[in-house]
Amino acid sequence: MNVGDAAERSGLPAKTIRYYEEIGLIRPARADNGYRDYSRDDVHRLAFLRRARNLGFSIDDCRQLMALYQDRDRASHDVRQIASAHVRAIEEKVRELQSMRATLQKLVHACHGDERPECPILDDMAGVVEEDRAVHA
């Protein structure tokens, strides 16, 4: 099947499929006319990659997971190790996002939101401290 059919069946845009081929994540056969010829297995691998990327795995992680998926002699602990590392990274990102949210909530609360030009949100982003505000007032 052509890239359009593979895109429709895998749920990935054709541009993404071509990119995955360019970086070696997938290697479709070539027809006699030189066009890509995607098999059902290729579409299955593309769907696998779509799901892995939707779970937030990096391209390098996807490369490792794909290799493990295709290796029938794999040890499941290798897969678990990659997934566990990803969970830890997600947890760290959640902590960072919660901290950002808390900071922004404080700044929004401190901002009067009126017609005056003073804005604690912009002051914070500019690194203005309380002493600087007093000098400029």
3-class state of residue 29 by DSSP: strand
Residue 137 has pLDDT above 80, yes or no: no
Q: What are the boundaries of each domain within the chain? A: 1-57, 75-131
Give the domain 1-57 fold: Multidrug-efflux Transporter Regulator; Chain: A; Domain 2 (1.10.1660)
Residue 10 has pLDDT above 60, yes or no: yes
Confidence at 117, pLDDT banded by 50, 70, 90: confident
3-class state of residue 60 by DSSP: helix
Q: DSSP per residue over 80-93, as a string?
A: HHHHHHHHHHHHHH
Task: Report pTM.
Answer: 0.78
Question: Can you list the positions of beta strands (E) in the chain?
Answer: 29-30, 36-37
Tokens 């401290």 found at: 129
Q: How far apart are CA 24 and CA 108, in angstroms?
A: 46
Confidence at 13, pLDDT banded by 50, 70, 90: very high
Confidence at 116, pLDDT banded by 50, 70, 90: confident
Return the sign of the alpha-carbon dihedral for residues 96, 97, 101, 102: negative
